[in-house]
Amino acid sequence: WYYLTKIKGRKDLTGRRSKVTVILGGQWGDEGKGKLVDILAQSVDVCARFNGGSNAGHTLVVGGKKYAFHLLPCGMINPRARNVIGNGVVVHIPTLLKELDNLKDFDPHALQRIFISDRAQVLLDTHREIDGLLELEKAKSATGSLGTTKRGIGPCYASKVNRNGIRFADLLDVATLPDRMRDLYSFQKIHYAPAVEAVDIEDEIKRHLEYAKLLQPQIVDSLSFVQDAMASGSRLLIEGANAALLDIDFGTFPFVTSSSTTIGGVCTGLGVSPKQIDCTIGVVKAYTTRVGAGPFPTELTDATGQRLRDVGGEYGTTTGRPRRCGWLDLQVVKYAALINGYDSINITKLDVLTGIPELRVGVSYKLNGKTLAPSCMPAGLDDLANVEVEYITVPGWKEDISKCKTLSALPVEARKYVSLIEKMVGIPVSWVGVGQGREDMLPMD
């Protein structure tokens, strides 16, 4: 297992000096990726997204003011950075424009710093209506509702795979755009009539023709854009939406998102080759949370779970839904690390554990009496629901760590908790979060 730390004889593990840095979620999402992305985005030239849509959410606290991003890359908070929405993203244009409008006091010219791939898919209101219909239908099935955000993400990716979706390149051809949208609507009406009949397609066409005029200068060949930027010496920061256990292939299917959330998605969703990535950082919360349905082996449904939810503010950025909470699950972290090849780990929300006398850490799974390998995450829902988690118990700490400015200032028990994660996963920790602000993320060096 420890071979992961020896893959390339790595250098900068923090992402602060790397040319191309990737930030990925290492659990079920909501790990606090936005904070590290925000920190690193202050010194990069280009910040990019490669997957998902407005089902993702980053909440940033900068200068005491909160910014909630669902589609925009976090580099928008750096007035000098250009920002790219890659071909692997599905974009609901009204949501994008609303987020840009919320930035107008910070940067009146924010629109001029966002560039959208001509290969990215346009998410229409019909996709949102279909998402709601499918959730209602799934609620009646044996598996039950998936607990999606109903933002239209899955149906939009389905249009992409069905090869009848609308791409941003189509917005550049206003002569054919109306017929393309009508063709898609006709297809959707045949298969999802109860949902899409509520949408006035002619009104939606009219709005998207206006969007096309507004966004035309920002629609680019993203592959050339990103590659040219790197060739000119620009530093690139790539932020992932969702997380490893929500990946359409490697996640806890079917309770997953509809895109590739792991390292392979960076290559296919942005056009960056594996050889160009210098540093990959996995973001891991000091405990575990997930939103929606699906197996959750270390879940706590007692007072400790509620305490984690309340102290950690575990309510979704996108939906406001309360998150399910549990002990740190290192089987999940090791599995995600193997898939993504992390160079280092960013531990977030360590301060939330303050005051809990004893902390339990899930270190491995047993299934049918056999301990599973670190690389194993059962593909079957029943198997995953029936795993026996093997725990170790470590002492907690009482001291308030939210004011600590260096890792050496942490209580010895907190430092041991961090060291335990490093040892069990076999990957160094590069950052530790002890509070909400940008200044509360402590680098290991």
Catalytic residues: 30, 58
Alpha-carbon span 351 to 68, nearest angstrom: 22
Q: At what angle do helices 330-340 and 412-425 cross, to 10 degrees?
A: 50
The rounded distance, in Å, linking the Cα atoms of 403 and 406 is: 9
Return the HEC string of the chain. CHHHHHCCCCCCCCCCCCCEEEEEECCCCCCCHHHHHHHHHCCCCEEEECCECCCCCEEEEECCEEEEECCCCHHHHCCCCEEEECCCEEECHHHHHHHHHHCCCCCCCHHHHEEEECCCEECCHHHHHHHHHHHHHHHCCCCCCCCCCCCCHHHHHHHHHHCCCCEHHHHCCCCCHHHHHHHHHHHHHHHHHHHHCCCCHHHHHHHHHHHHHHHHHHEECHHHHHHHHHHCCCCEEEECCCCHHHCCCCCCCCCCCCCCCCHHHHHHHHCCCHHHCCEEEEEEECCEEECCCCCCCCECCCHHHHHHHHHHCCECCCCCCECEEECEEHHHHHHHHHHHCCCEEEEECHHHHCCCCEEEEEEEEEECCEECCCCCCCCCHHHHHCCEEEEEEEECCCCCCCCCCCHHHCCHHHHHHHHHHHHHHCCCEEEEECCCCHHHEEECC
HSE at residue 112, side-chain half, CA atoms within 13 A, is: 6
Cis check: omega of the bond before 411, within 30 degrees of 0? no
Q: How far apart are CA 177 and CA 162, in angstroms?
A: 18
The answer to whether the CB of 164 falls within 8 A of the CB of 184 is yes
Placement of tokens 């080759």 in the chain? 273
